[in-house]
Amino acid sequence: MTDLGLESGQTEELRNLHELKPSKIIDIRGAICPHPLNIIRDTIINLGDREILQAICDHEPTAKENAPRLCIRRSYPYRVIEKNGLWHIFIQKIEKTQPRLRVLNVSKVFKTNHGKVIALDNVNLTIQEGEFVCIVGPSGCGKSTLLNLTAGLDKPTQGEIWSNGNRVSGPGSERVVVFQEGALFPWLTVIDNVEFGLKLRKVAPEIRRTLALDYLKLVGLDEKFHNSFIHQLSGGMKQRVALARALVMEPAILLMDEPFAALDVYTRETLHEELQNIWIESHKTIVFVTHNVQEAVLLGDRVIVFARNPGRIKSEYEIDIARPRKIDHPEVFLNTKWITDDLKEELEGQLQYKTNEKEVVYG
Ligand code: ADP
Ligand code: MG
């Protein structure tokens, strides 16, 4: 018996996880489709708080990489034990009592030469672990301001932001931002850009390389571009690299500020599909800012509508449509229309309304 020594917690209690009585044992030998990780994830859903799952598995990547990653992301204690050529994965479910993100009475006032601008006025928002939340609204309604405050790049004038139970007081690697323009380093190659944050974290070179390659594959960047410099890439490829660079850090929350706004419609559609697939696979907590209502409906579990002057939350919609969602799905169309009507009402004639068969844009 080999103990792979993988564990996410440090307490004595967790060291003995594999010696405690599991509440559920599943044998997932031979599972390929559905993927063994999906079976583990679906089984965990039905466990109670602190109950233990034992999964017996013959799929090495699930035991050594995928299940540990899932546990680290959700802060579940786990152990992986190898025995007679099989892996026994022990996972303890810990119910989250903390929301992933809490924005409490947040206001932000900028002083300019023309006077004060109330970019955000008493904003309250709670986001749970694994939610995909889209923030939509006309330009100038404070979307980027809220994202920057959440990222810790700026401080609220009033109120507080809490990330997983800790008050945000500056940037942190558990909150990573992807901007409209990828903000990639032009002097580094694609692969070195993706590895950059890991290097700062002093991750060993071979592990860095493996992780970077995994994530470049996940975002669908062709291998032949791995050693290219950023200026040699199209806009769509740059955003794929930016996404890989953010995801490779395994952030607890991914903050995206109009990441696809500068792309042509067809590239954007492909990236929508890929981001949906990444989310289906990872259930990462994502806050996605856009001024494109259709994009928000396509991607979000929830769409928060912002109004401006002063910037504030106007309304909120639950988007309960099965994924992956397609742009021509009737429910996507209907939800887009409702939210668009809501925004139109708000803007009362300030709206520059441009429409074609692909998108509805405000600005
Ligand atoms: P959005 O991302 O929704 O387009 P922003 O968050 O960028 O809106 O801006 C909200 C308001 O705050 C706008 O009126 C903008 O001009 C103002 N603003 C944003 N950042 C600054 C800043 N650094 N200094 C002064 N005003 C700012
Ligand atoms: Mg903005």
Taking only the tens place, the pLDDT of each residue in 24-40 is 999 999 987 667 888 89
Taking only the tens place, the pLDDT of each residue in 62-77 is 999 889 888 876 778 9
- Decide: 143 in ligand 1 pocket, CB within 6 A: yes
Taking only the tens place, the pLDDT of each residue in 276-325 is 998 988 889 999 999 999 999 999 999 999 999 999 999 999 888 888 89
Closest CA to 26 of 52, 50, 6, 64: 52
Question: From the CA of 306, which ligand is nearest?
Answer: 1
CA of 127 from ligand 2 middle (Å) equals 20
pLDDT value at 164 more than 90 = no
Rounded to 10°, the helix 190-200/205-218 angle is 130
Residue 165's alpha-carbon distances to 49, 283, 284, in angstroms, are 19, 19, 17
Number of alpha helices (DSSP H) and beta strands (DSSP E) in the chain: 11, 17
CA of 194 from ligand 2 middle (Å) equals 24
Q: Which CATH architecture has domain 2-92?
A: 2-Layer Sandwich (3.30)
Question: How large a percentage of the chain has pLDDT more than 70?
Answer: 90
CATH 3.30.110.40 in the chain, residues? 2-92
Q: Hunting for tokens 């009475």 — which residue is that?
A: 105
Cα 35 → chain centroid? 21
Helix (H) or strand (E) holding 247: helix 235-247
Under the banding of pLDDT at 50, 70 and 90, the label for residue 353 is very low
- Decide: 138 in ligand 1 pocket, CB within 6 A: no
CA of 142 from ligand 1 middle (Å) equals 6
User: Rounded to whole angstroms, how far apart are CA atoms 173 and 252?
Assistant: 8
pLDDT value at 11 more than 60 = no
Most confidently modeled of 46-50, 70-74, 322-326, 339-343?
339-343
Instruction: Fill in the amino acid letter for 49.
Output: D
- Decide: 168 in ligand 1 pocket, CB within 6 A: no
- Decide: 145 in ligand 1 pocket, CB within 6 A: yes
pLDDT of the residue at 51: 93
Under the banding of pLDDT at 50, 70 and 90, the label for residue 3 is low
Under the banding of pLDDT at 50, 70 and 90, the label for residue 6 is very low
CATH 3.40.50.300 in the chain, residues? 101-174+251-361
Question: From the CA of 261, which ligand is nearest?
Answer: 2
Most confidently modeled of 71-75, 86-90, 95-99?
86-90
Average model confidence (pLDDT) for the chain? 88
Q: Is CATH 3.40.50.300 what the domain over 101-174+251-361 is classified as, yes or no?
A: yes
54 vs 181, more confident: 54
Closest CA to 277 of 332, 237, 240, 249: 240
- Decide: 123 in ligand 1 pocket, CB within 6 A: no
**Could you tell me the pTM of the whole model?**
0.73
pLDDT value at 257 more than 60 = yes
pLDDT of the residue at 69: 81
Q: Hunting for tokens 């949906």 — which residue is that?
A: 276
Under the banding of pLDDT at 50, 70 and 90, the label for residue 15 is low
pLDDT of the residue at 355: 42
pLDDT value at 2 more than 80 = no
pLDDT value at 163 more than 50 = yes
Question: From the CA of 123, which ligand is nearest?
Answer: 1
- Decide: 144 in ligand 1 pocket, CB within 6 A: yes
Question: From the CA of 139, which ligand is nearest?
Answer: 1
E-assigned strand segments in the chain:
2-3, 24-27, 52-57, 78-83, 86-92, 101-112, 115-127, 132-136, 158-163, 166-167, 175-178, 253-257, 285-290, 302-307, 312-318, 354-355, 360-361
pLDDT of the residue at 31: 85
pLDDT value at 245 more than 70 = yes
Q: Is 122 exposed, middle or buried (0-12, 13-18, 19+ CB in 10 A)?
A: middle
Under the banding of pLDDT at 50, 70 and 90, the label for residue 183 is confident
199 vs 69, more confident: 199
CA of 138 from ligand 2 middle (Å) equals 9
CA of 230 from ligand 2 middle (Å) equals 23
